Structure formats: structure tokens, C-alpha cells
Structure 1
Amino acid sequence: MAMQFLCSAHRQQLKRSKVVAENRWDEWMEAGREAFAQRDWQSALKYLGCSFELSEMLLSNEDLPSLSNIDRYMVSGHFLAECFARCHENCLQRHCLLAVHHHLLKLLRSPQGLGLSLQRNVEISLQMLARHYEAAGEEETLHACYQETTRLLKHRCH
């Protein structure tokens, strides 16, 4: 289930220019951070959600994912997840955290992931998931994910 925050007109416009898309991502993340700091959760959700969707588009348009777009995806996804947590939307928070983590693991498993330094990204993502599952009292649920992530990191990054 992909979350959609952008209208189809914006989506089409942003697909035309990577430079424009990256600039919008920067602007929307800044606006989302400001709204988050002001505890304006609805505005923060709007901006962070658009940033997250846009970062996903940027990644999907690359044959070889760049680390900057991977970082964009991870940062906006984690920020959006935290905003969902502040809105007491724990299922949506978990969805964002899992989406980011699974995408990173997919990259790690792929031939394109061989040339990327993803270890730190994956470790941060796993920490965010662990924090979420611990807060929910469901640490045991994360056990299989932790084992698979650790196995992939040892196999691909060492």
C-alpha cells in the first residue's frame, strides 16, 4: 500500500525535472520540519508526506539509486513516521518505518546495492523500528527482521 500525498498534476510536473523535484523536496522538508517544531501536526503531515512520496519517485526514476536519494527517502520516511506517532496513528507510523526498512533491504539484496554504502542507513532504520516495537511492547515481533537484517549486513557489507 503506497501512501499518496501529491495530486496527479504535481506528480506529473515533478517527474519532468529531477532538479525541480529535488528543490521541492528540500522546500517541503524544511516546511515540514518547521510545522513539526511548532507542533502543527496536520501541516507537518502534509509537507512530510509530500516529501516522502517525492523521495520515492526520485528513487524509482534511477537505474542506480544515488545515496542522496536514498537518504532523502529514509529521512522523510522517518520524519513522517514520527509525525504519525505524534498524531497517535501508530499503524501509519509502523507502515512508514517498515516501508523504509524493506526498501533499504531490497536495495541491499539487489545488484545495484553492491556498490552502495548502505550499512549506516540500514542500522538507523533498524534502530527506528526497534524503538517503535519496544514502545508498543512487541519486541519479539521484530526478532526475525533483526536476524535477517543482521545476516544481510554481514553478507553484503563485510
Structure 2
Amino acid sequence: MAFQFLCSAHRQQLAQDASVAQARWDEWMAAGRRAFAEREWRMAVRYLGCSFELSDLLLTSERVPSLTSLDRFMVSGHFLAECFANTGNTDLQQHCLLAVHHRLLKVLRSPDGRALPLQRNVEFSLQMLGRFYEEEGNRDAFEHCQRESRRLLQRCYH
């Protein structure tokens, strides 16, 4: 992930204690959702960006990704993408949506990830990507992504 919202001191501190990191994620998501609801996009990006980066940090620290950590990553990434959409930053919106989707597929491809019930996560991620590519007039890019994602889902769950 290319985004950097946390300073190195906070990143290091949060990497050392997962329970503190999870509590910060909850706090920052709540603040980000409030700012989002009030259409305060710059403030929402700050909180949601920190939540997204923190959820990536939590996922990376787990040998086997948990469904809770993947949900955190997905929710914060999709909220952040919506903030970028509302500020006209479609490149950053796309980056967030693809980061979430690629992480889900990466986990799904792993032996440990196949044991997780990720079908709904991948389907929701595809809906978000489909909406984005439809608005951008780039249906071909989405169809390729959708085809590959469905093929992987088929292989893992049927």
C-alpha cells in the first residue's frame, strides 16, 4: 500500500500492541464516519486514511489473516475511496478500491485464506469496483477484473 497517513513513531507504537491498534482503529473510524456524514471530506480523509493504514498494519502482522482484520481493511478502504470520490480524486479512489480487492484476492489464493468465508467480501468489492468503472466509462477494465475474480471464487468455493 502506497498511502502513508501515520507518522513513523505512531506506526511503530501501534505495531507493538495489537489491542491498542484495534482500539485506535475503532476510534479513528468513528471520527472518520462522523466527518464523512457531515461531508467534512478533508477531516474524514485524515481519520479514514489512518484507519486504512492501520488495518493494513494489523493484517500484515498476522500470520494467518483473520476475517475481522480483513473486514477492517475493506470497510476503511471503501470509506476512504468514497471520500476521495467526493473530493474529485478519482485516481486515489481507484487506488483504494483496487488495494482492497487485490488484498482480498491475495488472501483467497493462499492456503489459509481459502478457509475464510470471503465470498461476500469479494462480491461487495466487485460491486464497488463496478460502480467506479461504470462512472469512469471503463467497463472493459472491470469486466476483466470481474471475470478473474469470479473464476477464483468458483475455484475456491465450488
The alignment's TM-score, normalised by the length of structure 2, stands at 0.98
Shift of 1:141: 1.5
Percent of pairs with identical residues:
63
* 1:67-146 alignment, distance < 5 Å: 67-146=67-146
Most deviating of 134-143 and 67-76: 134-143
Q: Say whether 1:154 aligns with 2:133.
A: no
Shift of 1:40: 0.7
- Take 1:145 and 1:34, find their aligned partners in 2: how far apart are those partners? 32
Task: Give unmatched runs, 5+ long, in structure 1.
Answer: none
- Take 1:17 and 1:91, find their aligned partners in 2: how far apart are those partners? 33
- Take 2:113 and 2:36, find their aligned partners in 1: how far apart are those partners? 32
Letter in 2 for 1:87: T
| Deviation by residue 1:129-151 (Cα, 9 ceiling, x = unmatched) | 00000011111111111110000
| Deviation by residue 1:94-122 (Cα, 9 ceiling, x = unmatched) | 00000000010111111111211100000
Shift of 1:45: 0.3
Shift of 1:2: 1.3
Shift of 1:16: 1.0
* 1:25-40 alignment, distance < 5 Å: 25-40=25-40
Q: Say whether 1:19 aligns with 2:19.
A: yes
Shift of 1:13: 0.7
- Take 2:151 and 2:69, find their aligned partners in 1: how far apart are those partners? 25
Letter in 1 for 2:14: L
1:130 aligns to what SS in structure 2? helix
The alignment's TM-score, normalised by the length of structure 1, stands at 0.98
1:19 aligns to what SS in structure 2? helix
- Take 2:37 and 2:144, find their aligned partners in 1: how far apart are those partners? 35
- Take 2:114 and 2:67, find their aligned partners in 1: how far apart are those partners? 12
Please name the residue that 1:65 is paired with.
65
- Take 2:3 and 2:94, find their aligned partners in 1: how far apart are those partners? 13
- Take 1:75 and 1:6, find their aligned partners in 2: how far apart are those partners? 18
Please name the residue that 2:7 is paired with.
7
Letter in 2 for 1:70: L
Letter in 1 for 2:108: L
